[in-house]
Structure 1
Amino acid sequence: MNLDDFSDLIERPDGGVRRDAEEHRERLIVPPGALGRLDELGEWLSAAQQAVPVKPIEQPRVVLFAGDHGVAELGVSGRAAGTTHELVRATLDGATPLAVLARRFSVPVRIVDAGLDCDPELLPESVVRHRVRRGSGRIDIEDAMTAEEAEQAVRLGIAIADEEADSGTDLMVLGDLSVGGTTAASTLIAALCGTDASVVTGRGGAGIDDLAWMRKCAAIRDALRRARPVLGDQLELLATVGGADLAAMTGFLLQCAVRRLPVILDGVVSSACALVAQRAAFRAPDWWLAGQVSGEPAQTKALDRMALNPLLDQGVIVGEGSGALLALPLVQAAAALAAELPERAPSDTGEDVEKDGEKVGDEAGATVANGGSADD
């Protein structure tokens, strides 16, 4: 598998449709610019859907890719290594911020086990049936997975994207459930952006103290030494310092772009996978929205590199897809406004109108301009 092949498969959202959407927006009763960024979102959705006016977002879905990362053994996370399955169980039980929001917004949630380090019997078969491997290697001293496993994980993400597109999902909310995932994600971003470990090291969604931050920074530094020699091959990069969940998310993002399925990104993990995907297919980011500012410095660098401007900045650092899901109502509002606001009456736009079978307006104005009378 060569991820660069996706570059030939991905097209940008339809520019002609976007121009039509902009012209439609100019005719609405609310002046252009009065709705701020909602105007831009509505036009972007029109181009993605190839529809003017835009169609409402009726079947959004959350997909969370789950995995454990061996680097968590170094104490780089606020949670114990190998405990991601507890996050998965809490989400399934409705006891996480993401689960509460999904319930409130009536959005279904799908969890995909790409690399959890637990007995499969602890979770429903629907979650664990796609597992690529049990946990990932310690990326500071060993590969996260083999090349074959990396390809299997990418193909898993592609398959999930196809399933969602075929089922009628019209907007994806992408997140992750992981322990140690931000360390792997920050390593990928530092490698692709050419920065040092200290520049990208954050404190993660669970929060870590200064000593844990120093351990995390050291782990990213060591992993970076292993990542730099393989920067020319995205699949090898994911195998070296990524993880099964990150590779699956990368394949998912690429295939969503192929299938013209818009995606809202969550935090640093999904942003890292998006950056890897952009390296393979430069048009792919045109199909993604950045949901929120996570507070992770690595996410800021990745979004800057992809020219993606987050929709929200509410200080939400919990991760797990929560910030991206919070942005969903904003996107739905943009679609509803673009689709349902009425157009101005012709007389309000300066266009010609007919009265008693005769055209007045521009022609009358032209007569006056030429020295005559509007009554001539």
Structure 2
Amino acid sequence: MKVLAAMSGGVDSAVAAARAVEAGHDVVGVHLALSRMPGTLRTGSRGCCTIEDSRDAWRACDILGIPYYVWDFSERFKEDVVDDFIAEYAAGRTPNPCMRCNERIKFAALLEKALALGFDAVCTGHYAKVIEDADGNRELHRAADWAKDQSYVLGVLTHEQLKHSMFPLAETPSKAEVRAEAERRGLSVANKPDSHDICFIPDGDTRGWLEERIELTEGDILDVDGTKLGTHPGANAFTVGQRKGLKLGRPAPDGKPRFVLEIRPKENTVVVGPEQLLAIDEMRGIKVSWAGRPIPEVGTGEEFDCMAQVRAHGDPVDARARVEAGADGRPELVVRLIEPMRGVAPGQTVVLYQGSRVLGQATIDSARSALRPEPAGAAG
């Protein structure tokens, strides 16, 4: 099989490519140049997709004896990931850029180009598993190592994309084993730190980065009953669940801290309240997609049991979900949580599971707490 190995410059993608070579596939390595500042270097474990990473990817391909190329996807990355990130925050939502990158870059733009060039599959170092059912349909499942499982950020993959996806690290029991294997293979990235934070904000200061790109206008901070408690420099600079930086002159009546419950960008207001109101019981999602063939209940509109996860490394919680038509006629996902979940914000992604299988995902449009009569997600 002709395989295009996406080489990030990290240890996971290097070992994944090595395993694809060892399995007898015809492998070509490619590094995606996503940064529009090619002189940027990573700082320790912050950021990725830099010149340093490109060189590390080249060294790995050289040791593996496979061709190596760099493809410039920086313009597409800026439009589909960076600009989307800014627009979502400007609309008062909390986006997940890793989901957008996997959806629009690694498994849309990259896969599309790979197939056009005659490749059969794209291989990545993600910790996730693709399984075929009895009819040959592909399903996305959690990896063997739940601590490193990355199926959440792959929840946007479609059935067609799963047909051409290869994850050689699926059954690896731990990251330590991957590093040890890299060492045995003579790969210089064996002990390279994992990247974290948002790759295009390598210093980790998301708020400061956004303040340079979103026009902020002073507005009101309100209590849940609409009482004005203070002012803020701009609603877009806040996120649901935030506690620090509110700068309210007076404490709550019970003396306990207040948290951001809701952001209303159209009114330029921030709603704050007690911590218990962050516990969400129900969420509604838009931009729904299914990882593989949808389960029958999706077509019938019946409610089904599942588990819901809203962060890459968050704990899944028991839930009941159903699909219904939204106001615009497009499908919406309604998820009722059996146990409330804290700090859910519009713009985040909810991924549904049954056992280890990823069913699909949606972008959270609104979220509500049963302790608060009106929806908590009116933002947008």
| Greater RCO, 1 or 2 (C-alpha within 8 Å, sep 6+) | 1
Pick the structure with more strand per residue: 2
Q: Taking structure 1 as the reference length, what is the TM-score of the superposition?
A: 0.26
Q: Report the structure number with the largest CA radius of gyration.
A: 1
Pick the structure with more helix per residue: 1
